[in-house]
Amino acid sequence: MHRRTLLLLGSVLLAATVLTGCGGSSSPSFPTIGAAKTYEVADFTPTVIPTAGKPTTVSFGIQQPDGTLMTKFKKGPGPHTGVHLIFVRSDLGYLIHLHPPVGADGKLSIPVTFPAPGKYRVVIDVYPADATIQPNFQLFRTITVRGAYSPMALPAPGGTVTVSGYRFAMSITGNLKAIQAGYLKITVTAPDGKPAAIQPWLGALAHAIFFRKGSLDYFHTHVCAPGAQGCTSILGGANVTGKQTTPGVLDVGVLVPAGGTWRLFLQCQINGRVLTVPFTIPVAS
């Protein structure tokens, strides 16, 4: 429990810059920890403003405290592997989720086509091979895409969303509260009225990516096939694991760091196509 708290604290410090001596600073001989002791994004591109609808190469490396680029990332069958690259527009109107390939030199590079103008938060979710560092941590960037930005209002919470003819009906089971595990039930129906056959994609049956309105805080949970490993998401002392109870019925884990209005982007593969399905959910503080 205490250890998990430390891990969470560690991720917060990694995401920011470590300037203070985490609790040990009362010792007068404690060395000053400079910014170079943190994990950072290195050589991030694009350095020019991208245009919506045209591919832009996004590339970067993960600089380690010793100054070298990280080259070894977690591997395996589950979803918690490699580097997840996520772009979300500031109004939560658009989401892009990619897993860029890692070069032998630790450089990651992938073409991205932004759908519309505006400011996007870039989340780089890193799963190091050396899990003693910590299971994962996030680094952030911002990209502004050229053109006139017209923000979209978020739809009302819950409800039914239809994407490519597939109907996703969501109901909130119980109360959703910050830093507590909760669940949403999402029933997926195919255009013919039958339960949708959901296929594994990137190590999970469904990926649930959460962003908080305004602050753009981030969390990510998964729904895995029965018996799949490495599907649990941890936040502080809580953890959550989603499951498919019957074909087409997903129990999606919700575990977020703060109350507020959140946008859930559910992603799953059906019939060889990845569908991104957005919902609005209220979370109590």
Give whichever of 118 and 262 is closer to Cu ion, judged by the CB atom: 262
Q: How many CA atoms lie within 13 A of 223 on its CB side?
A: 28
Nearest by Cα to 165 from 27, 56, 273:
273
Q: How far is the CB of 279 from Cu ion (least distance, A)?
A: 16
What the block records as the tokens of 173 is 């089971």
Q: How far is the CB of 69 from Cu ion (least distance, A)?
A: 23
Is-cis flag, bond preceding 100, omega within 30? Answer: no
Give whichever of 33 and 123 is closer to Cu ion, judged by the CB atom: 123
Q: How far is the CB of 207 from Cu ion (least distance, A)?
A: 3
Cα 16–Cα 19–Cα 23 angle in degrees, nearest 5: 100
Give whichever of 33 and 204 is closer to Cu ion, judged by the CB atom: 204
**H or E element in which residue 267 lies:** strand 260-270
- Tell how far CA 160 is from the center of its chain: 23
Give whichever of 78 and 117 is closer to Cu ion, judged by the CB atom: 78
Q: How far is the CB of 58 from Cu ion (least distance, A)?
A: 18
User: Which residues are at the interface with Cu ion (CB under 5 A)?
Assistant: 79, 207
Q: Which residues contact 3 (CB under 8 A, 6 or more apart)?
A: none
Give whichever of 89 and 220 is closer to Cu ion, judged by the CB atom: 220
* Residues 188 and 270 sit within 8 Å (Cβ to Cβ): yes
Residue nearest to Cu ion (CB): 207
Q: Which residues contact 66 (CB under 8 A, 6 or more apart)?
A: none
Q: How far is the CB of 222 from Cu ion (least distance, A)?
A: 5
